[in-house]
Chains A and B, each alone.
Chain A
Amino acid sequence: MPVVRTVEATMLGKLDWSAIPFDQPIPLVAGAVVLVAILAVLIWVVVKGHLPYLWHEWITSVDHKRIGVMYILLASVMLLRGGSDAIMMRIQQAVAYQSQGYLPPEHYNQIFSAHGTIMIFFVAMPFVIGLMNLVVPLQLGVRDVAFPTLNSVGFWLTATGALLVNLSLVIGEFARTGWLAFPPLSELSYSPGVGVDYYAWSLQISGVGTLVAGINLVTTVLKLRTKGMNYLRMPMFCWTTLASNLLIVAAFPILTATLAMLLLDRYLGFHFFTNEAGGNVMMFMNLIWAWGHPEVYILVLPAFGIFSEVVSTFSGKALFGYRSMVLATMAICVVSFMVWLHHFFTMGAGPDVNAIFGIASMIIAIPTGVKIYNWLFTMYGGRIRFATPMLWSVGFMVTFIIGGLTGVLLAVPPADFMLHNSMFLVAHFHNVIIGGVLFGAFAGFEYWFPKAFGFRLDERWGKAAFWFTFLGFFATFVPLYVAGMLGMTRRMQHYDVAAWRPWMIVAAFGMAVLTIGVVCQIVQLVVSIRNREALRDRTGDPWDGRSLEWATSSPPPVFNFAFNPDVRGEDAYWDMKARAQQQSLEHEVPEYRDIEMPRNSPTGFVCAFFATIMGFALIWHIWWMVILGGLGAFATFVVFAWRDHDEYVIPAEEVARIDRVNLEERRGLVSMAGAT
């Protein structure tokens, strides 16, 4: 029946029943469980009548705080997915000695590819972007980001990418090429399945989301600061946000272009990176790392900013060597673009090239080292309170120095000739990404949670989570360092070398400890929500903070500040508190004005809906659906561009009412502090 087949091919492209992995129970069961969970939540939401609330208050919200929270929620859910992948890999390598283990290669290879992709693009990125979204406008003393609706679009496109990656679990397959999909392995001749297409289209769509988030935050920091907030009075987190987002704006287009070339190879028979017809894989290596190395700093710079805020707040001191820190941040921002070649010293470039890039990579360790010392001296002479965020910060400093050491070691080309692509390398980058980015994200989560939701998190469970994660991290990754020294390379689905085995077993045990840490974090959240009345933060300043986000209530009103704060120095809010104490009270009665705020808009959600359709259709070659999705997204954009009303007014009386409640609480705090 050739005619019927043609119709099917037109309607469904490459999609048919064989795309569902009926023969593979693990992804099928996992997918089914997730699907049931999502359906259950949806039904609960609809039956309980929460749908209008969700739609009006969250899904269509253009409030930077709400979008920040949604980013972090996305990152947390994806952390569980990526973490499950990690558990499966550690178990596989613990049992796959002289045997196939329990995961066949075509499954294991998808798992490590998905683990890397998810952890970088859908955990680390949304977590730090979420924290920046939530906090930076508050720290700058402004009412919103520069482009509120674009912000929503950016978030929802990131969510689209995450959705597509997870869809590959049950429909088709994910890439089996590693998280950077190196050609020629990722070319059509060696990866004919849809896995690489899932990978590439997810990242193309979420990459657009990341790029607009970057443009938005750069513009916000450069153009929207409250009066008196000049550059050298900005909190450190705003500086690192600026540096990180400048890197996003500069680096993400490289990723988009590189993946576009790979897709042209795969879809239209181009030869950018193929073996044949003059394609060149070395070009892909250079391009992908020209994005990939700055990406590392895109992630870790905001974490550095978080640690700067936390260490300074909990030491009861301003950040030591603030200007030196600014210089170090911007130095990292610039130099991080000049070191990409250290990812492939073993490609056979000459000794001059290798040595120059090796030394350039080491140079980044100088400003990074300066940061560590400045945090050290911030603690010196401080009065340190070991709340959970501070524990994460001290844990970070210790862990990150070790990761820095192994990193500089890998920057020495002759050492890299032995360690490249080994388990040592795997241990190194987890050392800096878990010990740097994830610890930073958790520190920021604990630190700013009361600001976002109005109550603190349970300290006991928080501390348990820290200790299990900290010890679990070392128990997992020190064995991998050792395995690397024993010649073990990464991505091995099975092995026959007896010397590696004990270390893989220890690492699996360490993974169990790490998992307990994550469970503690979930319990902490549940316990805190149940005890939220006892943990309530009434003053808006639970940690005796120093920057402007603590000057407003927790959670802040939609307009953040009734008046744009007037900044007269570094540590703006600390300064205000000090002055308020001198004058005994903030007694002037302000004159409230109407505030205009951007209206909610479904643009982001609708755009992402059509982008999801388009992405799915592109992956499966369903061309009519590609056109439909593309037209839908474009129409959404046109409707938004022709909107008539983009702002609404909050009347002065309403502003006054909200602000007075906060002022009452705060006066109580100030007078109490004055009395002691």
Chain B
Amino acid sequence: MNLLDPQGPVAAANSTILIDSVFIMLAIVVPTIVAILAFAFWFRASNGKARYQPDFVYSGRVEMVVWSIPALTVILLGGVAWIGSHQLDPAAPVPGTGSPVRIQAVSLDWKWLFIYPDQRIATVNTLTVPAGAELNFQLTSSSVMNTFFIPQLGSMIYTMNGMVTKLNLRADNEGKLQGLSAHFSGDGFPDMMFDVNVISPLAFPDWVATTAKTDAVLDEASYRTLMQQGIEKGRPAYRLEDPRLFDLIANQHIPPGPGPELISDAGRPHSGGHDAR
């Protein structure tokens, strides 16, 4: 999950900006740290060779320099931030080969549901995507906030109930990656890690066809079961009954997921996460 080992253009651009920014700042930070240590050492009271200048308490030239060094750095970095923010806007498409794949991700307590509306399938805790294709994500949450993040593919984005956020990514190399939720969401939060299988664009239709043969069906009823608090250790897959399911969740036609079941009235509820374990 190394951020410096990007597997797609977004992550590559993000980490380039990250590294560039660090080096721009190191250019002034390292000399400053050296100067602090050097001045502190040389002007120690026991050093007879250091000249004591108690009246050196103001210098217009020094002030000029000390205001301009950080200002110039910030102007440079500000440019990086401005251009970077626009080029790497999560909502902006990332062109790729072949036809784009639409994926609708829903964070549940405490698992990820990935709906492929065009392929009419859905998976839990596994995201399978073709290499090189443009991936358009629409994201929402069934209950509390989460953050959708695949470190080696780049930008993360919040998921919120009743709202849809957008994210565009692309995975360039076949292989297995990992994703996670990057916003604390309750007891089962650490178990919200998911597999990302990047497969060849030729294998993708086969995978879709195989998955579509499953008996499990995702409709409103099975979704309501799925959104109960709990941890999913398996990797279930579904045929999608209604391609508008995501919209029903996002516009709260299906009400937000329930919280923990109250067993004791006295403040310390037993949570679903605990039971699932």
Q: Give residues in A with beta carbon < 8 Å to B.
A: 14-19, 21, 100, 104-106, 109, 172-173, 176-178, 182, 184-185, 189-195, 275-276, 281-282, 315-322, 324, 344, 346-348, 350-352, 354-355, 358-359, 362-363, 365-366, 368-370, 372-374, 376-386, 394, 397-398, 401-402, 404-405, 408-409, 411-415, 417-422, 485-497, 499, 620
Given contacts A106-B274, A379-B39, A497-B1, contact A405 B22 (CB under 8 A): yes
Which of B56, B151, B187 interacts with A381 by CB under 8 Å? B56
Give Cα A173–Cα B269 distance, bound, in whole angstroms: 10
Smallest Cβ distance from B185 to chain A, in angstroms? 6
Pair A418/B11 contact, Cβ less than 8 Å: yes
The residues of B that contact A348 with a CB separation of less than 8 Å are 90-91, 157-158, 165-166
Pair A420/B182 contact, Cβ less than 8 Å: yes
Which residue, of B37, B59, B147, B267, has the highest number of chain A Cβ atoms within 10 A? B267
- Is B112's CB within 8 Å of the partner chain A? no
- Is B223's CB within 8 Å of the partner chain A? no
The residues of A that contact B181 with a CB separation of less than 8 Å are 489
Pair A19/B147 contact, Cβ less than 8 Å: no
Smallest Cβ distance from A377 to chain B, in angstroms? 6
Pair B40/A394 contact, Cβ less than 8 Å: yes
Which of A109, A411, A417 interacts with B155 by CB under 8 Å? A417
Which of B56, B85, B152, B265 interacts with A414 by CB under 8 Å? B85
- Is B202's CB within 8 Å of the partner chain A? no
User: B140-196: which residues lie under 8 A (CB-CB) from chain A?
Assistant: 143-145, 147, 149, 151-152, 154-158, 160-163, 165-166, 178, 180-190, 193
Which of A14, A368, A486, A491 interacts with B3 by CB under 8 Å? A486
Stretch at the interface among B76-84, B94-102, B113-121: B76-84
Give the size of the chain B interface in residues (CB under 8 angstroms). Answer: 106
Give Cα A494–Cα B180 distance, bound, in whole angstroms: 13
The residues of B that contact A374 with a CB separation of less than 8 Å are 66
Which of A350, A379, A421 interacts with B89 by CB under 8 Å? A350
Pair B268/A193 contact, Cβ less than 8 Å: yes
Smallest Cβ distance from A291 to chain B, in angstroms? 19
The residues of A that contact B265 with a CB separation of less than 8 Å are 14, 16
Smallest Cβ distance from B26 to chain A, in angstroms? 7
Give Cα A93–Cα B149 distance, bound, in whole angstroms: 21
Pair A355/B188 contact, Cβ less than 8 Å: no
Stretch at the interface among B13-21, B127-135, B203-211, B237-245: B13-21
| 16 further interface pairs, Cβ-Cβ under 8 Å (given A321-B62, A494-B190, A495-B193) | A14-B266, A18-B268, A315-B43, A321-B58, A351-B85, A352-B85, A352-B86, A381-B43, A382-B43, A401-B29, A415-B18, A418-B11, A418-B15, A420-B156, A487-B1, A492-B190
Smallest Cβ distance from A417 to chain B, in angstroms? 4
Smallest Cβ distance from B254 to chain A, in angstroms? 12
Pair A366/B160 contact, Cβ less than 8 Å: no
Pair B147/A189 contact, Cβ less than 8 Å: no
Pair A386/B53 contact, Cβ less than 8 Å: no
Give Cα A318–Cα B53 distance, bound, in whole angstroms: 11
Give Cα A194–Cα B162 distance, bound, in whole angstroms: 27
- Is B8's CB within 8 Å of the partner chain A? no
Pair A362/B74 contact, Cβ less than 8 Å: yes
Pair A317/B259 contact, Cβ less than 8 Å: no
The residues of B that contact A493 with a CB separation of less than 8 Å are 189-190
Give Cα A172–Cα B264 distance, bound, in whole angstroms: 12
Give Cα A172–Cα B260 distance, bound, in whole angstroms: 17
Pair B57/A346 contact, Cβ less than 8 Å: no
The residues of B that contact A420 with a CB separation of less than 8 Å are 147, 156, 182
10 contacts between A and B (CB under 8 A): A18-B267, A182-B145, A366-B74, A373-B69, A381-B56, A394-B40, A417-B88, A417-B154, A418-B154, A485-B4
Given contacts A320-B56, A365-B70, contact A355 B151 (CB under 8 A): no
Pair A486/B267 contact, Cβ less than 8 Å: no
Pair B158/A376 contact, Cβ less than 8 Å: no
- Chain B's closest residue to A168 (CB) is B267
- Chain A's closest residue to B17 (CB) is A414
Smallest Cβ distance from A577 to chain B, in angstroms? 13
The residues of A that contact B62 with a CB separation of less than 8 Å are 320-321, 373, 377
Which of B2, B14, B29 interacts with A402 by CB under 8 Å? B29
Given contacts A172-B267, A414-B88, A418-B151, contact A405 B29 (CB under 8 A): yes
Which of B52, B70, B157, B273 interacts with A105 by CB under 8 Å? B273
Smallest Cβ distance from B106 to chain A, in angstroms? 14
- Chain A's closest residue to B167 (CB) is A348
The residues of B that contact A382 with a CB separation of less than 8 Å are 43, 52-54
- Is B248's CB within 8 Å of the partner chain A? no
Pair B58/A408 contact, Cβ less than 8 Å: no
The residues of A that contact B162 with a CB separation of less than 8 Å are 275
Given contacts A193-B267, A418-B11, contact A372 B32 (CB under 8 A): yes
Pair A351/B185 contact, Cβ less than 8 Å: no
Smallest Cβ distance from A504 to chain B, in angstroms? 13
- Is B221's CB within 8 Å of the partner chain A? no
- Chain B's closest residue to A366 (CB) is B70
List the 8 shortest-distance A-B pairs measured between CB atoms, nearest first.
A487-B1, A381-B53, A369-B70, A487-B151, A373-B66, A194-B267, A355-B85, A417-B155
Pair A489/B149 contact, Cβ less than 8 Å: yes
The residues of B that contact A418 with a CB separation of less than 8 Å are 3, 11, 14-15, 18, 151, 154-156
The residues of A that contact B155 with a CB separation of less than 8 Å are 346, 414, 417-418
The residues of B that contact A195 with a CB separation of less than 8 Å are 267
- Chain B's closest residue to A494 (CB) is B190
Pair B143/A100 contact, Cβ less than 8 Å: no
- Chain B's closest residue to A327 (CB) is B67
Pair B274/A189 contact, Cβ less than 8 Å: no
Which of B53, B70, B277 interacts with A370 by CB under 8 Å? B70
Give Cα A497–Cα B193 distance, bound, in whole angstroms: 10
Which residue, of A344, A413, A488, has the highest number of chain B Cβ atoms within 10 A? A413
Q: Mark B6-38, 1 if CB is under 8 A from A, else 0.
A: 000001011101100110011001001101110
Give Cα A193–Cα B74 distance, bound, in whole angstroms: 46
Which of B78, B86, B182 interacts with A351 by CB under 8 Å? B86
Give Cα A488–Cα B1 distance, bound, in whole angstroms: 8
Which residue, of B67, B85, B88, has the highest number of chain A Cβ atoms within 10 A? B85
Pair A351/B89 contact, Cβ less than 8 Å: yes
- Is B213's CB within 8 Å of the partner chain A? no
The residues of B that contact A185 with a CB separation of less than 8 Å are 144-145, 184-186
- Is B93's CB within 8 Å of the partner chain A? no
Smallest Cβ distance from B138 to chain A, in angstroms? 11
Smallest Cβ distance from B19 to chain A, in angstroms? 9
Which of B17, B90, B184, B187 interacts with A412 by CB under 8 Å? B17
- Chain B's closest residue to A373 (CB) is B66
Which of B63, B264, B271 interacts with A321 by CB under 8 Å? B63
Pair B36/A398 contact, Cβ less than 8 Å: yes
Which of A100, A350, A379, A408 interacts with B77 by CB under 8 Å? A408
Pair B36/A486 contact, Cβ less than 8 Å: no
The residues of A that contact B271 with a CB separation of less than 8 Å are 105-106
Which of B1, B14, B91, B266 interacts with A15 by CB under 8 Å? B266
Give Cα A57–Cα B149 distance, bound, in whole angstroms: 57
Give Cα A421–Cα B74 distance, bound, in whole angstroms: 24
Pair A344/B158 contact, Cβ less than 8 Å: yes
Pair B161/A369 contact, Cβ less than 8 Å: no
Which of B21, B45, B85, B255 interacts with A354 by CB under 8 Å? B85
Pair B81/A405 contact, Cβ less than 8 Å: no
Given contacts A351-B86, A412-B81, contact A346 B158 (CB under 8 A): yes
Smallest Cβ distance from A288 to chain B, in angstroms? 13
The residues of A that contact B268 with a CB separation of less than 8 Å are 18-19, 21, 172-173, 193
Smallest Cβ distance from B251 to chain A, in angstroms? 12
Which of B11, B182, B255, B266 interacts with A16 by CB under 8 Å? B266
Give Cα A319–Cα B165 distance, bound, in whole angstroms: 50
Given contacts A319-B57, A324-B67, A418-B151, contact A190 B186 (CB under 8 A): yes
